[in-house]
Amino acid sequence: MTPPLLAITPPAGPVSTSLVEASIRSGVPVAVLLREPGASPQGLLDPRGRLAALRRAAADAGLCVLLSVDPARAEDGVAAACDAGLHGVQLRGDASPDVVRRVRQAWPGGVVGRSVHGAPGSEPEPADYVVFAPVFPPKTPAAFEKRAVGIEALAPWTASGRRVYALGGISVETAPACIAAGAFGVAGISTFLGSVDAVADTLAALAAVVAHARHVPPRD
């Protein structure tokens, strides 16, 4: 199963292995989601691609590595992730429960997550986890503006009993409110970028938040 910290690769530009080095140094495990808007599963897993070094380093360190997959190409993505020795996939764009169930049937031993927005449905959650966003204003530039929805919109997802990661504007300062609202963990992009020392400090601080901030009331 995935740990409470989920690091997502940036949408463009070089990607270093500092996250893996920081995880080793701090002793804090982190899951790594290989994601690049518009990229195919094969592109994300290209051994000469920009994510290749991070993927190898994370695998060597025993970290959980996941592949971001378009629901329309779920079978292709699952096959690619499984063949590459990854731990699972995360379905983009509010994938339907039916797609999640098909993925689980295709890969019974794989982790299956999905990105979600809006309000939760009433049926049981078939995914192992969901990533709800954006809770706070995102720090990573995107192709289109993403409006923060706040802790109030996160609460129905956590109240439903789902295993929820909060994404969007996550930092050491904002994470406590998410955990206090019932989130299992936090996810981020720029949150986990920087020098090894800086990222190690962030990982340690967020791990402490997850361990202790459940008693802190949500911010107004």
Each residue's pLDDT tens digit, 152-206: 999 999 998 899 999 999 999 999 999 999 999 999 999 999 999 999 999 999 9
Give residue 1's pLDDT band: very low, low, confident or very high (50, 70, 90).
confident
Can you give the pTM of this predicted structure? Answer: 0.93
Written as one letter, the residue type at 127 is A
Residue 174 CA to residue 41 CA, distance in Å, equals 32
Give residue 219's pLDDT band: very low, low, confident or very high (50, 70, 90).
very low
pLDDT of residue 141: 66
Residue 117 CA to residue 95 CA, distance in Å, equals 10
Residue 152 CA to residue 93 CA, distance in Å, equals 21
Nearest C-alpha neighbor of 31 from the set 74, 1, 71, 69: 1
